[in-house]
């Protein structure tokens, strides 16, 4: 999995013109499922991301996690994160998992967080979405499970 992690003050997503999900302070995640990803990748991401110490403490240092601050997650699927722009002018997507398998793994990740009590909102898989956010910092990381 390739995941863009953005610390946000707020974020929302609409799918095909309809509200789909919104959060207050927390993490906006763009999630790309790579070919060959599996439940091991889901577990790694599920464990790592809420525990990342990327929120400020009382001294303004990044010492607190999403769990520490009671933040929320907005999880948006984005297969284009697996796009390869190295050759030609049109990206190739052979590195992305097949849609049905990718959706199952994306939903498994979301469900894992929800089962652990992390508030999670989502976009809608395989639809045209508009995402709005107020990036806090800005703080943005790229995380890969492999």
Q: Determine whether 79 is an active site residue.
A: yes
Nearest CA to 42 among 110, 124, 134? 110
Q: How far are the Cα atoms of 22, 29, 144 from residue 34, in angstroms, in the given order?
A: 26, 15, 10
Residue among 6, 55, 79, 145 flagged as catalytic: 79
The pLDDT tens digits along the chain (146 residues) read: 999 999 999 999 999 999 999 999 999 999 999 999 999 999 999 999 999 999 999 999 999 999 999 999 999 999 999 999 999 999 999 999 999 999 999 999 999 999 999 999 999 999 999 999 999 999 999 999 99
Exactly one of 6, 14, 55, 78 is catalytic; which is it?
A: 78
CATH code of the domain covering residue 43: 3.50.80.10
126: left (phi over 0), alpha (psi -120 to 50) or beta: left
| Domain extent at residue 32 | 2-144
Give the chain's domain count: 1
Catalytic residue list contains 78 = yes
């Amino acid at each position: 999995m390739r995941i863009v992690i953005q610390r946000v003050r707020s974020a929302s997503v609409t799918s095909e013109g309809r509200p789909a999900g919104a959060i207050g302070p927390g993490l906006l995640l763009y999630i790309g499922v790579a070919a060959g990803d599996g439940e091991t990748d889901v577990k790694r991401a599920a464990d790592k991301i809420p525990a990342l110490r990327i929120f400020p403490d009382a001294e303004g240092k990044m010492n607190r996690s999403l769990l520490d601050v009671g933040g929320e997650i907005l999880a948006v699927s984005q297969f284009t994160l697996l796009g390869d722009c190295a050759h030609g002018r049109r990206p190739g997507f052979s590195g992305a998992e097949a849609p049905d398998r990718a959706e199952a793994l994306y939903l498994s990740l979301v469900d894992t967080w929800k089962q652990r009590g992390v508030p999670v909102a989502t976009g809608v898989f395989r639809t045209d979405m508009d995402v709005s956010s107020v990036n806090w910092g800005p703080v943005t990381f790229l995380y890969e499970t492999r």
